[in-house]
Amino acid sequence: MTVTFKRSGVADVDVSIAIAKRSAVDEESAMAAGVRLTGNDLFFHLPITLLEADDNYPGELRNADVITDAAGVSWVVKHHQLLSYGTRYKALCSQSRT
């Protein structure tokens, strides 16, 4: 799995991570986040320590970052939340149309 950090004005940074979980999205969670579901949505659970690429991207996941799963499918982060005492992100993602 790869996380691509998208930041304006600088080159994209790809970080490979070996451990991540994914889960289905329930409408209640999406409503609480204020996000509209598209039908191709899911949650990724990412350990923050595995996202630390360098000093410019110290594990800071943002909306519009891209997660590419093992099958090569790209998912765009729509909403994210830091959980478990700051040890992991729960990211609501939509399948990329590109």
DSSP state of 20: -
Instruction: Report the phi/psi class of residue 86: left, alpha or beta, with left for phi > 0 and alpha for psi in -120 to 50.
Output: left
CB atoms within 10 A of CB 67: 23
Give the per-residue pLDDT at 39. 75
- % of the chain surpassing 90 pLDDT: 33
Beta strands in 38-73 (DSSP E): 41-47, 66-68
* Burial class, 89, CB count within 10 angstroms (exposed 0-12 / middle 13-18 / buried 19+): buried
77 strand-pairing partners: 93
Q: What is the per-residue pLDDT across 46-71, written as a single tens digit (0 to 9) for each?
A: 988 888 766 666 568 999 999 999 99
Give the per-residue pLDDT at 27. 72
Give the per-residue pLDDT at 69. 93
pTM for this entry: 0.82
39 strand-pairing partners: none
